[in-house]
């Protein structure tokens, strides 16, 4: 039996396959910019790459969430600053109305101004961002309050819900980002319930009630301090959100560098490998062409 299998031919084909595989890897790296394009490219580092990718995706999501919260928090903080100024204006009007020399008519005029400010305070409580009421707690599609100055109690009951929402910081911790309008403006305390204290002053001015005016003047000091405390809460949230965004951005940069170190291709090396492959392939073909050929007739001779 004649064996036509030529070991040198098999070695040639194996070598060509190896060269072509190397060229294909180099070409793919140049096309994608990645050293790892499949599991077989570097199985030893695949686990580390998957872990870095997961951490990067999580941090990017946290950063995105903090960005959305920042818009809401900045708006809420600005609204609270406005509320503090409005309550200061009420205190000024109350002080003007307190002297016993004031007439019922002048107090009636001041009542109109206080009523207007009460409506503005309710407007602050109804602050809306991107279609959501920021002080409505978990029911952010429901307006917290409405005002009807013809009623003895002009401000409606709170229409929202409790606020349970928290946001994750870049270090993994959770923190609350908002308070409800009820917590801020309707504390239930006779001295710190902003809406009730302003309403009491409004009614006392309309009825020329000296005792009621004096009580409202005293309570306005407590409610003003209380409202400033709520403003301070949003200031602290702003600080945490901004710090979280900065930390997340730094971590994202670090993770991208780490990811690149694992999977990015060395493009210079890829070009070198591609050129070397072409040269090696040409040399192998030239060498193969110079090899002596043996045919069937050689065996029959």
**Cβ neighbourhood burial of 226 (10 Å; 0-12, 13-18, 19+):** buried
Distance CA 100, CA 214 (A): 10
Q: What's the CATH code of the domain at 203?
A: 1.20.1330.10
Q: Transcribe the chain into DSSP letters.
A: ------HHHHHHHHHHHHHHHHHHHHHHHHHHSBS-SSGGG-HHHHHHHHHHHHHHHHHHHHHHHHHHHHHHHHHHHHHHHHHHHHHHHHHHHHHHH-STT--HHHHHHHHHHHHHHHHHHHHHHT-EETTEETTSTT-TTS----B-TTSSS-BPPP-S-----EEE-TTS-EEE----HHHHH--S-TTT-HHHHHHHHHHHHHTT-HHHHHHHHHHHHHHHHHHHHHHHHHHHHHHHHHHHHHHHHHHHHHHHHHHHHHHB--HHHHHHHHHHHHHHHHHHHHHHHTS----HHHHH-
The proportion of the chain whose per-residue pLDDT surpasses 70, expressed as a percent, equals 72
Q: Is residue 192 part of a domain?
A: yes
| Range with lowest mean pLDDT among 26-30, 134-138, 162-166 | 26-30
Q: Is residue 26 part of a domain?
A: no
Please state the domain count of the chain. 1
Q: Is residue 174 part of a domain?
A: yes
Residue with tokens 């070409």: 27
Q: Is residue 169 part of a domain?
A: yes
Pick from 73, 20, 113, 48: which is nearest to 259 by CA? Answer: 48
The angle that helices 210-263 and 43-97 make with each other, rounded to 10 degrees, is 160
Tens digits of residue pLDDT in 260-277: 777 655 446 556 655 565
Distance CA 36, CA 41 (A): 5
Give yes or no for residue 11 having a pLDDT over 50: yes
**Rounded mean pLDDT of the chain?**
84
Q: Is residue 119 part of a domain?
A: yes
The torsion angle over the Cα atoms of residues 10, 11, 14 and 16, rounded to 10 degrees, is -110
| b/e sequence 39-49, b meaning 16+ C-beta within 10 Å | eebeeeebeeb
Q: Is residue 53 part of a domain?
A: no
Distance CA 183, CA 165 (A): 15
Q: So what's the pLDDT on residue 198?
A: 97
State the pTM of this model.
0.72
Tens digits of residue pLDDT in 45-66: 567 878 888 999 999 999 999 9
Q: Is residue 243 part of a domain?
A: no
Give yes or no for residue 149 having a pLDDT over 70: yes
Q: Is residue 164 part of a domain?
A: yes
Pick from 186, 179, 124: which is nearest to 155 by CA? Answer: 186
| b/e sequence 227-247, b meaning 16+ C-beta within 10 Å | beebbebbeebbebbeebbeb
Q: Work out the average pLDDT over 89-100.
A: 95
What domain range is 158 assigned to? 79-237
């Amino acid at each position: 039996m004649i064996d036509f299998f030529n070991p040198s031919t098999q070695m040639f084909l194996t070598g060509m396959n190896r060269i072509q595989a190397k060229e294909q890897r180099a070409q793919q790296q140049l096309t994608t910019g990645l050293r790892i394009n499949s599991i077989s490219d570097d199985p030893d580092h695949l686990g580390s790459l998957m872990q870095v990718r997961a951490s990067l995706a999580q941090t990017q999501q946290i950063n995105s969430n903090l960005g959305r919260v920042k818009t809401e928090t900045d708006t809420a903080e600005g609204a609270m600053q406005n509320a503090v100024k409005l309550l200061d204006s009420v205190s000024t009007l109350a002080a003007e109305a307190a002297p016993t020399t004031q007439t019922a008519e002048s107090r009636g005029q001041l009542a109109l101004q206080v009523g207007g400010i009460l409506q503005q305070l309710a407007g602050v409580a109804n602050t809306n961002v991107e279609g959501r009421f920021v002080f409505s707690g978990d029911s952010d599609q429901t307006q917290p309050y409405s005002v009807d100055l013809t009623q003895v109690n002009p401000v409606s009951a709170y229409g929202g819900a409790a606020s349970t929402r928290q946001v994750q910081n870049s270090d993994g911790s959770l923190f609350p980002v908002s308070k409800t309008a009820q917590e801020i403006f309707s504390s239930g305390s006779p001295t710190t319930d902003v809406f009730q204290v302003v309403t009491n002053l409004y009614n006392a001015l309309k009825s020329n009630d000296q005792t009621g005016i004096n009580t409202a003047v005293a309570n306005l000091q407590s409610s003003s301090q209380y409202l400033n405390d709520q403003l301070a809460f949003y200031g602290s949230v702003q600080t945490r959100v901004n710090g979280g965004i900065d930390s997340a951005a730094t971590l994202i940069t670090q993770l991208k560098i780490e990811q690149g170190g694992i999977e990015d291709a060395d493009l210079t090396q890829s070009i070198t490998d591609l050129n070397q492959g072409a040269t090696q392939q040409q040399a192998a073909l030239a060498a193969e062409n110079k090899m002596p050929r043996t045919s069937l007739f050689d065996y029959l001779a």
